[in-house]
Chains A and B, each alone.
Chain A
Amino acid sequence: MKTLRKALALLFPTLLSLTVWLPILLIVGGSFMGVAELLEDLGPVLAGEEGFARWSLLPQYPTLRPYVELLLDSPQFFVMFWNSVKLAGGILLGQLLVGAPAAWGFARWKGKLQNLLFTVYIVLMLMPFQVTMVSNYLVLDGLSLLDTHLGIILPAAFSTFPVFIMYRFFCGIPGAVLESASLDGANELQVFLYIGVPLGGAGIMSAMVLGFLEYWNMIEQPLTFLHERTLWPLSLFLPTIVADKAGLSLAASVITLLPAILIFMLGQRYLEAGIKAAGLKE
C-alpha cells in the first residue's frame, strides 16, 4: 500500500522525465544511423517525400560513419568548435578575473555607495540582451570590435550576474575568520586570495558552471555582432548544416552536447548551489 502510494506520487515526475530522456535518446541514436537509413526515415521531412517521417529509437544498422566524416573530413566543424571554446573560455576567464574581486568588494564593504552600486548591478543582471543590444553595438563600433571574438568576450566578461552569484557565497564566510586573518597582519589582497577564494570556492564554481552552460549555448550576441560566418560558435552554426547532411548534423549535435553534459555532470552540485544562491531572500 505504502509503496503503491509512493509509486503514484512519483508517476507524474516519471512521465515528465520521458520528455527529457526521449529527445536525448533519439538524437544520440540517430547520430549512429547511416545516410541511407536516415533518408529513409526522415525523407518526408528533409527531402519532401510522400508519407510521414519516422524516427527509430535505435539504429537498425549502427555506423560510426557520420562521426568519421565529421571529425576527419569537416575542417570547418573544428573551426566552429574552437570558436565556441575560445568564446566561452575567454568570457569565463574574464568573469573570474574581474567578477570575483568585485563580488568580494561588495560582500566586504557596506555603505550607501556600495548599496547603490550593487542595486545597479542587480538591475543590469535582470535586463535582457535586447535592451542593451544597441548600446553594446555603439561601444563595439566605437572600439572597432565588431566582427571580432573580443567584441563578444569583453562585454560578457563584465556581466554582473556572476558577481551577484559569487557575492552571495562570499557573504556566507563568517566574519570572525576574516578578522583573525586581518589581525595576523594579512593585507586585503592576501585575505581575499588565501581565505576568500578557498572558502568561497563553491560560489566561484557555481558562477563558472552557470556561465559555461549559458555561453556554450550563446545565440544572441554572435548573431548580432558577428557577420563573418567563420567566427561563429557551434551554437549558431549547427542549425545551418543543411538538410541533406542530416547525419552530420546529428553527430555534430551530439558533439556539441558533450561538453555541456560533461560540465553538467561534474558540476551539478555547484549548479544547484548557484541556482539556490540566486534565489535566496536577501
Chain B
Amino acid sequence: MLGSKRSGRRKWTWFWFVLPSLLGVAWFVLLPFTDVVRRSFSQTMNGVFVGLQNYDTVLHNGAFLQAGGNTVRFVLICIPALIVLSLLVALALYGHPQQAGVFKTTFLIPMAIPVASVVLLWKVLFHQNGLLSAFLDGLGLQGMDWMKTGFSFWVLVVSYIWKNLGYDMILWLAGLSGISPSLYEAAAVDGAGKLKCFTAITLPNLLPTLYTITVLSFLNSFKVFREAYLVAGDYPHSSMYLLQHLFNNWFADLDMDKLCAAAVLVGLIIFGLILLLRRAWEGEGEL
C-alpha cells in the first residue's frame, strides 16, 4: 500500500517538470489564440457578434485569394522539387562515405547563412543591370529587372531549395542508412539488378522518411518570407506576394477582423494537412 501511494505521488512528479513550459505556452499561445478565435466571430470596433461575416470577407478578399493561391503554388512546386533533388544528392553521396562529409558540410552551410548577409549579392544578381542580365547580354539576349517580373517567383523557389537542401539531405541519408544491407544482399542473390533494388527496396523503405521530410519542408517553406521580404519589401511582384506578406500588411494596418479570421483559417488548414499527412503515413506503415 505504501508502494502504490508512493508511485501515485511519483506519477505526478513529471508534471512539475512540464508545468513551467506549459504555463508559458498557455499564456503566450493557447489562451490568446482562443481570444483570436472569439474575435474572428465579432467586430473589433464594438465587439458585436457577427457570425461568419469576417470569414466571408476574407474569403472574398482579392488579396487573400491571390496570396493564398501563390502560397499554394509555391508549396506545390518547391516541396516536390526539393524532395526529389535532395534525394538525388543523398543517393549520390550514400555510396561515397569518404567524400560525403565535405558535401554534408557544404549543403548545410546555407542553413547557417543569415539572409541579411546575402541580400546585397542577390540584388546585384537580379538587377536590370545586374550579373544575370550581363551574362545573358553576353549571349546576345535581353536582360530585365528580374525581381519585378514573374521570374521573381522562381528566384524564391530556388532560394528555398538552396537553403533547405542540406536539411532534407541529412534526413534522407538517415533514412538510407536505416535500410538493412541484408535486404540488398538477398536481392542480389535473387539476381535483382540495380534498378530493381532501387524500386523494390530503397524507395519503399524510404516512405516513412518521406512523411517527416514533407512535414518539415512545409514548415520551413513559410520562412521563405525572410528572403522575399528582405529583397523585395512589403509589396513585391504580384507573383511572389505570399500569405506571409498579406499577414504582415494587414497587421501593419491593424486590420484585426480580417487578420483574426485569416489566422484561424490558415491555422485550420495547416492542422488539417498535418492530420492528413499523418493518416496517409500511418496507412503506409500498415502495408
A and B bind: yes
Question: A residues near B, CB below 8 A?
Answer: 6, 9-10, 12-13, 16-17, 19-21, 23-24, 26-27, 30, 42, 44-45, 49-55, 98-99, 101-102, 104-106, 108-109, 111, 114, 117, 120-121, 123-139, 154-155, 157-158, 160, 163, 188, 192, 213, 216-217, 219-220, 223-224, 234-239, 246, 249-250, 253-254, 256-257, 260-261, 263-264, 268, 271-272, 275-276, 278-281
Interface residues of B in 29-55 (CB under 8 A from A): 29-33, 35-36
Q: Chain B residue with minimal CB distance to A162?
A: B21
Q: Chain A residue with minimal CB distance to B167?
A: A275
For B107, the chain A residues whose CB sits under 8 A away are 13, 16-17, 20
Interface size class of B (residues with CB under 8 A): 35 or more
For A192, the chain B residues whose CB sits under 8 A away are 17
Cα A223 to Cα B234 with chains together (Å): 11
Closest-CB distance, B145 to chain A (whole angstroms): 10
Q: Does B4 contact A (CB under 8 A)?
A: no
Query: Which of A52, A55, A125, A281 has a CB less than 8 Å from the CB of B212?
Result: A281
For B247, the chain A residues whose CB sits under 8 A away are 130, 133
Cα A223 to Cα B228 with chains together (Å): 13
Cα A24 to Cα B263 with chains together (Å): 37
By the criterion CB–CB under 8 Å, are B216 and A219 in contact? no
Q: Does B148 contact A (CB under 8 A)?
A: no
Q: Chain B residue with minimal CB distance to A105?
A: B17
For A250, the chain B residues whose CB sits under 8 A away are 120
By the criterion CB–CB under 8 Å, are A268 and B108 in contact? yes
Q: Does B99 contact A (CB under 8 A)?
A: yes
- Chain B binding surface SS class: helix
Query: Which of A19, A188, A238 has a CB less than 8 Å from the CB of B162?
Result: A19
By the criterion CB–CB under 8 Å, are B112 and A260 in contact? yes
By the criterion CB–CB under 8 Å, are B108 and A264 in contact? yes
By the criterion CB–CB under 8 Å, are A134 and B21 in contact? no
By the criterion CB–CB under 8 Å, are B225 and A220 in contact? yes
For B120, the chain A residues whose CB sits under 8 A away are 27, 239, 246, 249-250, 253
By the criterion CB–CB under 8 Å, are B270 and A238 in contact? no
For B109, the chain A residues whose CB sits under 8 A away are 20, 24, 261, 264
